[in-house]
Structure 1
Amino acid sequence: MGKIYFTLTGTKYYYGKEFLKPGMTLQLEKEPDNQYDKEAIVVKMEGLGDIGYVANSTYTVIGESMSAGRIYDKIGDTAKAKVVLITDRGIICKISKKSLSNLEQ
């Protein structure tokens, strides 16, 4: 399986994005009980907790990065990711290969 990129969005509702830097490690966690989106994946950072969500709308997904709905079945209940690029529209992140390989075994 190739590299999987996603857009981190909604950071303005938590701590903003100013503290994020390329290479920082993030934790993804599925939220199947989310009342707004059954494919919701919350993004967390150690020491802070929730910092945003994996974008799941054509209005919030940047470029060819994948939406939460497209990666939902490619990860387990949790996954690790790294910040790759920070833009005005959102943050591009990459899912760790280890998080993906668990499903392929």
Structure 2
Amino acid sequence: MTKVFITLTGTKHYFGNDFLEKGMKIRLEKEPDNEYDKEAIKVTYKGLGKIGYVANSPYTVIGESMSAGRLYDKIGDVAYAKVLLITSVGTICKICKKSLVKEEEE
């Protein structure tokens, strides 16, 4: 599988994005009980807790990033990513290879 990028969004509802730095490791966790989105993937940072979500709307996904809906079945219940680029409209992150579920060979 090629490199997988996601957009971290919604940070303004938690701690903002001033603390984010390139190279930071973040944790992604599926949130199937989310009342608004059954494919929600929350993003947490050690010591702070929830800092946002993986974007899942055409209005919040930046560029060729993968939406939460497209990513959902490609990761386990928990995954990790690294921050690559911080912008005013979202943060681009790369999913760590070890977090990707290997597709079954036929």
TM-score category of the 2 structures, normalised to the smaller one: over 0.9
Q: What corresponds to 2:7 in structure 1? A: 7
Amino acid at match of 2:65: S
Structure 1 unaligned spans of 5+ = none
Q: How does 1:82-101 map to 2 (within 5 A)?
A: 82-100=82-100
Q: What corresponds to 2:49 in structure 1? A: 49
Q: How does 1:15-94 map to 2 (within 5 A)?
A: 15-94=15-94
Amino acid at match of 2:77: D
Report % sequence identity. 70
CA RMSD of aligned residues (A): 0.8
The SS at the match of 2:2 is coil
Q: What stretches of structure 1 move > 2 A for 4+ residues in a row?
A: none
In the alignment, the residues of structure 1 paired with residue 18 and residue 81 of structure 2 have an alpha-carbon distance, to the nearest angstrom, of 18
Amino acid at match of 1:69: G
The number of residues matched between the two structures is 103
Post-superposition offset of 1:88: 1.3
Amino acid at match of 1:53: Y
Q: Deviations over 1:8-30 (max 9, x none)?
A: 00000000000000000000000
Post-superposition offset of 1:34: 0.3
Amino acid at match of 1:43: V
With the length of structure 2 as denominator, give the TM-score of the two structures.
0.95
Post-superposition offset of 1:48: 0.4
